[in-house]
A and B are shown apart, each in its own frame.
Chain A
Amino acid sequence: MTDKRIAKRPPDSLFQLVTDQWTEPFWDAAREKRLVCAQCSDCGHKRMPPTPFCPTCRSQRIDWIELPGGGVVYAYTIVERGTLPSMEDCLPYVPAVIEPDNGGGARLISNIVDSRVADIAVGARVDIVFDTLAKGALVPRFRLLGFGK
């Protein structure tokens, strides 16, 4: 029997966005539905999540480059059981590690949504969607390329 279930979204209630001066530009861009990556202005190294220093050259200068929004599934898990009551209505949901295109190998921890669970695989192509959460933050998430089109 084929698994026809569609990946849901994890409960909003688990998330409260906190930013600092180094991460704020990432979330500001997300609010405009843009995925950006911190790139060192001096050596070009890309890092995710953004931190105060470039680990390669210790520079604090950052260029925020916009990524095209596509990517590849690096790893994922299918959450089938809730460990908290708030998770019960959200199963199954699929946390995933995504390698965004043009991100220099930097990875993003996110979710695969709106996609058939059975089709998810390491190496699958994904495209970005932005979810508006209950508390107002926009978060980048991904769906399998071609799904629902």
Chain B
Amino acid sequence: MSTDFTIRDRTAVVGLGATPYVKRGQSAPQTLEELAAKAIIAAAADAGLDVPSIDGFAYFAGGFDTGYLMETLGIEEVGFSASLTGAGGGSAGAIGLASAAIVSGMAKTVVCVGAVQQTKLRYGAMPSSYAATAENSFYQSAGLVGPGHMFAMLARRHMHLYGTTREHFAEVAISTRKNAQSHPDALIRKPLTREDYFAAPMIADPHCLFDFCLETDGAVAVILTAAEGAQDLRQKPVLVNACAHGGARDWGRSIYWMNMPDETFASSGHASIARRLYAEADVGPEGIDTAQIYDHFSSQVIMQLEDYGFCAKGEGGPYVASGAIRLEGGVLPVNTDGGQLSGGYVWGMTHVREAVEQLRGTAHNQVEDARYALVTGGPSNIPVSGLILKGSA
């Protein structure tokens, strides 16, 4: 047994479950916890495991009430119940948290679940619901009601520094929509042309309607176990090759702070995560076959492509304009399920789902011979996170 402290290839995603993605509010009268539980039940069935065999929960963004989930799902005992702090930044990192639980022996069968239900509050206005605090008082007077207003500032700065244009944002929206068109679970599947894009209403300049992700309800769960023995379960295991969460102080509270140094301001805050992730993984950016990139905003896809080293800093716009992220003819097919821009938004968990399906070889828009998939967590306040999954031979 290896003595180095690493999670590399020691755990595997063995089960995957999801509810349908529906337009914001339409999952009612189901409850949010019910959606999460449905995804967990589906993930256990997919793995060929009994629900009560789950003995750990790894969350992000605060997660759910584990006691309540155990009560309703009949889970007898857990040895691990923990969440990354922050918000959507931890969606990819929660998988690493599950791996840490398993590798350390605290739990054997750990579920990661994310669920969203926007009945009372839409996510597009989420920061307006945050408690008035001494820190929040420094941005709430400015009318920064939604993340879209905040990330528009970063997009503006990126345009100013590097000459990024709305044409570049349009290419992200259009290529992602093309992927959605051939994915049966994607919510928005009508074609999106360049003309449609530029005719769309501006919401928070330079972000127009199609630069924003969808506001949807739904849940996605994955179950992880030790890699050893995972091949005896129902599905082809997908190994956790590397996972990192955290981030640099230069990014910090990011959109709630706006004091990042100039080179970090117009970024996704993922540069330090990418360094740690690639150091841990088998591969660097050149070895990634498909990337599922947290696309709450089209501009942030461009900045993550830079931070993860697929192109140089500032060249994300020309990189996407070259067709690089297209499923057809691209060098790095991105958000092959239609992403959050056109497929569905479950706080980043849809990206985990799509990466697992790609590496099982069961994706609807299958990337041929995909072996390594990158998944990113949301560019947001720290922690941000990244994950490299690996198909088993």
Q: Which residues of A contact B (CB under 8 A)?
A: 9-11, 14-20, 22-23, 27, 47-49, 55, 74-81, 83-84, 87, 90, 93, 95-97, 106-111, 122-123, 133, 137, 139
> A interface, by DSSP: helix, strand, loop or mixed?
loop
Which of the segments B11-19, B146-154, B218-226 contacts the partner chain?
Answer: B146-154
Q: How far is the CB of A116 from chain B (nearest CB, A)?
A: 14
Known contacts A48-B259, A80-B201, A83-B122; A18/B137 CB under 8 A: yes
Q: CB of B5 within 8 A of chain A?
A: no
What chain B residues lie within 8 Å of A108 (beta carbons)?
138
Q: CB of B205 within 8 A of chain A?
A: yes
The answer on a CB contact under 8 Å between A75 and B141 is: no
- Chain B 117-151 near chain A by CB (<8 Å), digits 1 or 0: 00000101100100011111111111111101100
By Cβ-Cβ distance, the 3 closest A-B pairs, closest first, are: A10-B143, A77-B152, A78-B205
Return 7 A-B CB contacts under 8 Å, by A number.
A11-B143, A18-B133, A75-B160, A77-B153, A80-B203, A81-B201, A83-B122
What chain B residues lie within 8 Å of A15 (beta carbons)?
132, 137, 140-141
| A-B contacts besides A18-B137, A75-B160, 9 pairs, CB < 8 Å | A10-B145, A18-B133, A23-B134, A48-B259, A75-B258, A77-B153, A81-B202, A90-B143, A111-B141
The answer on a CB contact under 8 Å between A75 and B137 is: no
A19 to B137, CA, bound (A): 8
Count of A-B residue pairs with CB < 8 Å: 121
The answer on a CB contact under 8 Å between A110 and B153 is: no
| Chain A residue at smallest Cβ distance from B207 | A77
The answer on a CB contact under 8 Å between B143 and A79 is: yes
A49 to B146, CA, bound (A): 20
Q: How far is the CB of A102 from chain B (nearest CB, A)?
A: 16
Which of B138, B140, B154 is within 8 Å of A75, CB to CB? B154
The answer on a CB contact under 8 Å between A110 and B134 is: no
> B interface, by DSSP: helix, strand, loop or mixed?
mixed
Q: CB of B156 within 8 A of chain A?
A: yes
Q: How far is the CB of A84 from chain B (nearest CB, A)?
A: 5
The answer on a CB contact under 8 Å between A122 and B203 is: no
A108 to B142, CA, bound (A): 10
Q: CB of B347 within 8 A of chain A?
A: no
A10 to B207, CA, bound (A): 18
What chain B residues lie within 8 Å of A133 (beta carbons)?
141
Q: CB of B265 within 8 A of chain A?
A: yes
Q: CB of B10 within 8 A of chain A?
A: no
The answer on a CB contact under 8 Å between A109 and B202 is: no
Q: How far is the CB of B338 from chain A (nearest CB, A)?
A: 23
What chain A residues lie within 8 Å of B146 (beta carbons)?
83
The answer on a CB contact under 8 Å between A77 and B204 is: yes
The answer on a CB contact under 8 Å between A97 and B153 is: yes
What chain A residues lie within 8 Å of B207 (beta carbons)?
77
A123 to B160, CA, bound (A): 9
A77 to B159, CA, bound (A): 12
The answer on a CB contact under 8 Å between B125 and A75 is: no
What chain B residues lie within 8 Å of A95 (beta carbons)?
142-144, 149, 153
| Chain B residue at smallest Cβ distance from A17 | B137
What chain A residues lie within 8 Å of B124 (beta carbons)?
83
Known contacts A14-B140, A109-B142; A79/B132 CB under 8 A: no
The answer on a CB contact under 8 Å between B134 and A80 is: no
